[in-house]
Chains A and B, each alone.
Chain A
Amino acid sequence: QKEVEQDPGPLSVPEGAIVSLNCTYSNSAFQYFMWYRQYSRKGPELLMYTYSSGNKEDGRFTAQVDKSSKYISLFIRDSQPSDSATYLCAASNDYKLSFGAGTTVTVRA
């Protein structure tokens, strides 16, 4: 079993909708949590980084971490067609990132 589980989707939403993405993890030592966005045939791009539990907001993006339930979330408000990509969650307690499988998101114009 992978240390970070993520539903691969795909997820399709209309433009302007809220996109909700989730991951669960099993390693209680994880304390760093990240979301990456990956466009087709490109490298992952760091979107959000969170340390320990809590919320972090950056523009239309909000990341949440609940360590008690080992749950990681990313919300994208007012989604745009340019948000269509694969979103990868990742977690670590040191330098080795453990990644989820990635969720493919399509925002329909």
Chain B
Amino acid sequence: DAEITQSPRHKITETGRQVTLACHQTWNHNNMFWYRQDLGHGLRLIHYSYGVQDTNKGEVSDGYSVSRSNTEDLPLTLESAASSQTSVYFCASSAGSGRADTQYFGPGTRLTVL
């Protein structure tokens, strides 16, 4: 069955370190998204991509970067981790280009920055 996976599921790192969170989908979806989930904020969009070599900034993109070298993967990099980036990160994907498309979410990565 097609799916979307994230790794690692849990990560503890130190302030200032570079961290990369992986997202892999086997649906062959064009669109991929990264969100962070924080208490009192719901989910907020970090970056998204409409296809290979395409990336766009979301609402809370400062301190994060993404690259899209193939259809299946959209890794999220924290260039220099900060305690404010402690959060649960969700990757999602969708097939089409319309506003009605369903986004399918991965299981999440819990990141703690000490």
- Do they bind each other? no
- Using a CB–CB distance below 8 Å, which chain B residues touch chain A? none
A residues apposed to B, CB below 8 Å: none
